[in-house]
């Protein structure tokens, strides 16, 4: 085999201590992966041998573990296993650290089959799993969306006499919450409480997000109140999720209540939160509230989107308030946004109903001047208005 040199660190130091080992492994991993991708296995072998020799005052096994960990975190189980195999060939026995790193790679790639094979190999090697191992198996199943299997591993962990920790419960609850199975997510939450494990902000946020996706705003609000009762600070995203939950079901009163509640707790609504609230107001025909929240959005330093302007223009038009509709149209023109076909269609439709041929003519002319495609509906409305 040809000899291959190992590049030194930028500061000229060598990987002679455990402190520098991760950095050394990370740089080696990049070179090894390049060789393997090019099919240069011999060059990779020579490079790896040279890299190991550079680790003078550190354990050879520790270097391999660092290397495996680099590949695992990068979601590259194939290369991680390659390094583990070479480590074994050198007479270095794998331990629970080895297998935990390899299983982490499986979680990154959602590889249930490889995870199962590694688990079997671990037991055959008389290596007993620890809490991290079980947590990783739960995570592999969660990432692969096999939630029944994830639950099975949780129960297996308990049967093995190991108490699931906050990471265990957070993984399983978040997995069921993401899938929309709110009932099972809540069941695991209560099991966690019964086990004496205190929930954290991540778990509460997962449940609140699940309630929002399931269109259960009252549940989302209850979880937020429980979170606050546990003396935990919800972040802006969590508060916004509750506001959005009420907005999407058209409950403007509750959405406004929770928006003010979040502001009282020092959190500011974002663009999506304002938009969903404006949409809820417009959908229920509440023109004054929609206008209020658009102005509040601007006051907060957030530029309304074109959709927000179109919505408020439409609710004004539907309420027969042409003056307000054209006011918001002018506000749109003064912004950094450009009216689209939908904007003009709303105003042409309104002008048609009120018999304002002049306004319809000006709108069509503006559409053409601004290169906005004019559809048949707009032209038809203009022709009707002119008659």
Confidence of residue 374 (pLDDT cuts 50, 70, 90): low
Domain boundary residue, one of 223, 242, 269? 269
| Phi, psi angle pair for 195, to nearest 5° | -80, 0
Of 386 and 86, which is predicted with more confidence?
Answer: 86
Q: Is 134 domain-assigned?
A: no
In Å, how far are 89, 139, 173, 183, 245 from 177, measured between CA atoms?
44, 14, 6, 9, 15
Contact assessment for residue 312 and residue 291, using Cβ atoms and an 8 Å cutoff: yes
Residues 195 and 205 in one domain: no
Q: Is 181 domain-assigned?
A: yes
Q: Cα(67)–Cα(85) distance, rounded to whole angstroms?
A: 12
pLDDT surpassing 60 at residue 296: yes
Q: Mean pLDDT across the stretch 321-346?
A: 91
What is residue 57's predicted lDDT score, i.e. its pLDDT? 46
| Phi, psi angle pair for 90, to nearest 5° | -80, 0
Domain boundary residue, one of 167, 199, 231? 199
What is residue 19's predicted lDDT score, i.e. its pLDDT? 58
Residues 238 and 344 in one domain: no
* Sign of the dihedral defined by the CA atoms of residues 260, 265, 267, 268, in that order: positive
Q: Mean pLDDT across the stretch 341-353?
A: 87
Residues 326 and 366 in one domain: no
Q: Mean pLDDT across the stretch 359-378?
A: 70
Q: Mean pLDDT across the stretch 141-162?
A: 95
Confidence of residue 48 (pLDDT cuts 50, 70, 90): confident
SS3 content of the chain, % helix, strand, coil (to 5): 75, 0, 25
Q: Is 113 domain-assigned?
A: yes
Instruction: Show Cβ contacts of residue 9 under 8 Å, excluding neighbours closer than 6 positions.
Output: 15, 20, 23, 24, 27
What is residue 52's predicted lDDT score, i.e. its pLDDT? 76
Domain boundary residue, one of 199, 226, 242? 199
Q: Is 289 domain-assigned?
A: yes
Contact assessment for residue 50 and residue 31, using Cβ atoms and an 8 Å cutoff: no
Residues 205-249: pLDDT tens digits?
999 999 998 899 999 999 999 999 999 988 999 999 999 999 999
Residues 8 and 69 in one domain: yes
Structure tokens at 56: 């003078």
Residues 1 and 124 in one domain: yes
Residues 2 and 110 in one domain: yes
What is residue 386's predicted lDDT score, i.e. its pLDDT? 43
Residues 258-279: pLDDT tens digits?
999 999 999 999 999 999 999 9
Confidence of residue 16 (pLDDT cuts 50, 70, 90): very low
In Å, how far are 65, 114, 241, 256 from 233, measured between CA atoms?
38, 40, 14, 20
Q: Is 135 domain-assigned?
A: no
Residues 226 and 314 in one domain: no
Confidence of residue 61 (pLDDT cuts 50, 70, 90): confident
Domain that holds residue 290: 274-330
Q: Which of 215, 242, 240 is nearest to 226 (CA)?
A: 242
Q: How many domains does the chain have?
A: 5
Q: Is 239 domain-assigned?
A: yes
> What predicted TM-score, i.e. pTM, was given to this entire model?
0.75
Residues 206 and 310 in one domain: no
């Amino acid at each position: 085999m040809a000899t291959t040199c190992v590049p030194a660190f930028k500061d000229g130091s060598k990987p002679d201590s455990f402190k520098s080992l991760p950095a050394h492994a990370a740089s080696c991993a990049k070179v090894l992966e390049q060789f393997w991708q090019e099919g240069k296995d011999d060059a990779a072998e020579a490079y790896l041998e040279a890299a190991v020799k550079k680790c003078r005052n550190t354990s050879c096994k520790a270097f391999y573990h660092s290397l495996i960990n680099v590949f695992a975190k990068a979601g590259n189980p194939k290369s991680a296993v390659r390094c583990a195999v070479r480590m074994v060939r050198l007479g270095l026995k794998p331990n629970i650290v080895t297998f935990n790193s390899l299983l982490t790679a499986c979680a990154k790639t959602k590889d249930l089959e490889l995870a199962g094979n590694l688990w079997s190999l671990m037991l055959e090697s008389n290596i007993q799993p620890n809490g991290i191992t079980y947590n990783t198996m739960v995570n592999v199943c969660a990432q692969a969306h096999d939630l029944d299997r994830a639950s099975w591993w949780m129960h297996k962990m308990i049967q093995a006499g190991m108490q699931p920790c906050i990471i265990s419960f957070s993984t399983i609850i978040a997995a069921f919450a993401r899938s929309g199975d709110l009932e099972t997510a809540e069941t695991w939450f209560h099991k966690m409480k019964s086990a004496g494990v205190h929930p954290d902000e991540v778990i509460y946020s997962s449940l609140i997000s699940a309630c929002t996706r399931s269109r259960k705003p009252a549940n989302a609000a209850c979880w937020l109140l429980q979170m606050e009762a546990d003396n935990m600070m919800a972040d802006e995203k969590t508060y916004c999720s509750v506001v959005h939950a009420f907005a999407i079901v058209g409950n403007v009163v509750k959405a406004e209540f929770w928006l003010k509640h979040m502001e009282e707790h020092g959190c500011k609504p974002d663009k999506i939160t304002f938009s969903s609230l404006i949409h809820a107001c417009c959908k229920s025909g509440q023109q004054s509230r929609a206008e209020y929240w658009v102005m509040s959005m601007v006051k907060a330093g957030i530029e309304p989107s074109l959709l927000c302007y179109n919505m408020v223009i439409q609710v004004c038009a539907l309420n027969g308030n042409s003056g307000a509709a054209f006011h918001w149209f002018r506000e749109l023109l003064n912004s950094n946004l450009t009216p689209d076909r939908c904007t003009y269609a709303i105003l042409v439709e309104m002008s048609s109903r009120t018999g304002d041929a002049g306004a319809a003519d000006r709108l069509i002319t503006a559409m053409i001047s601004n290169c906005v495609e004019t559809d048949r509906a707009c032209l038809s409305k203009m022709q009707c208005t002119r008659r």
